Amino acid sequence: MHPILRFLLIACGFASLLAACETAPVSGRSQVMLVSENEEREMGLQAYREVLSKEPLSRDAQTNAMVEKVGRRIANAAEHPPQELWRAPRFRWEFKTVDKNEPNAFCLPGGKVVVYTGLLPITKTETGMAVVIAHEVAHALARHGAERMSDQMVASVGTAAAAVALSATVSGRSRTYLPAMMAAVGAGATVGYILPMSRAQESEADRIGLVLMAMAGYDPREAVALWERMRAASSGKRQAEWLSTHPADTTRIADIKRWLPEALQYYKPR
């Protein structure tokens, strides 16, 4: 390749990366996004359909109603944020409970939330469930799945090639990156591998989630008790995939306590 052409490709790559910069909600952290919101939502919908085709849905009406209720309250909070926190999402929310003894949950892009019944002994209460769902919705609000995929694209193909990838068709990239999208949001076990969030993203989802649940009328202080129960449940056992890349329990609980004053500003009990 001619040196000038190579230089132009690299320059275009850096320009594309700069144009793709976004800011995460609440934390204000800078992000690079090489996946558009439309692409992200399409992949989320495809992944959601794949999950539902493989996993047994709960037939427990009470559990389903509780997950739906909590999810709708969190979703309503996500759609009506104080202006300075985030841009209201354009999601078509759905909430499903999978009947599986596994402590797992995820929110696919576009607002498709899946909760496994294996979490119920740990969440215990409606507010405990709100901690989990708010954390997962926070991942979707902050577009962590798309960000993780973007990181992988840049790392694997380089800046210039990543810029070229921006012009790929939605349908073509959806087929190529669907497994990665599923893995990036925690549904990777259904396709055989995990593309974990970074610890920074997990901590960010904790912080955003506290604000979300507080806005939804759930006491964010319950998050401390929830993660203490999570720590007790995982003690001495093989760690669940959902928890494998999360911050250490002691660090997470300390961070949550530090962020509680921020979240409590938005808390109005119902």
Q: 216 and 80 in contact (C-beta within 8 Å)? A: no
DSSP per position, 34-46: -S-HHHHHHHHHH
Q: Mean pLDDT across the chain, nearest whole number?
A: 79
Say whether pLDDT at 23 is over 90.
Answer: no
Confirm whether 202 is a catalytic residue: no
Say whether pLDDT at 195 is over 80.
Answer: no
pLDDT computed for residue 26 by the predictor: 84
Provide mean pLDDT across the span 249-258: 90
More confident residue, 186 or 78: 78
Among 55, 136, 202, 222, the active-site one is: 136
Over residues 118-161, the pLDDT tens digits come to 999 999 999 999 999 999 999 999 988 888 877 776 666 554 44
The angle that helices 37-54 and 144-165 make with each other, rounded to 10 degrees, is 120
Say whether pLDDT at 221 is over 70.
Answer: yes
Say whether pLDDT at 13 is over 50.
Answer: no
pLDDT computed for residue 247 by the predictor: 62
pLDDT computed for residue 155 by the predictor: 62
Prediction pTM value: 0.78
Q: Report residue 3 as tokens.
A: 């040196």
DSSP state of 57: B
More confident residue, 44 or 196: 44
| Beta carbons within 8 Å of 254's beta carbon, 6+ residues apart | none
d(Cα 44, Cα 38) in Å, to the nearest integer?
10
d(Cα 174, Cα 47) in Å, to the nearest integer?
10
* Neighbouring C-alpha atoms within 13 Å toward the C-beta of 41: 11
Say whether pLDDT at 24 is over 60.
Answer: yes
Q: 123 and 115 in contact (C-beta within 8 Å)? A: no
Provide mean pLDDT across the span 74-78: 97
Name the least confident of 150-154, 165-169, 230-234, 247-251.
165-169
Say whether pLDDT at 182 is over 80.
Answer: no
pLDDT computed for residue 28 by the predictor: 82
Provide mean pLDDT across the span 191-214: 78
CA 42 to mean position of chain CA atoms: 16
Say whether pLDDT at 193 is over 70.
Answer: no
Q: Which of 123, 265, 139 is nearest to 206 (CA)?
A: 139
pLDDT computed for residue 169 by the predictor: 39
- Single-letter amino acid code for the residue at 120: L
pLDDT computed for residue 223 by the predictor: 97
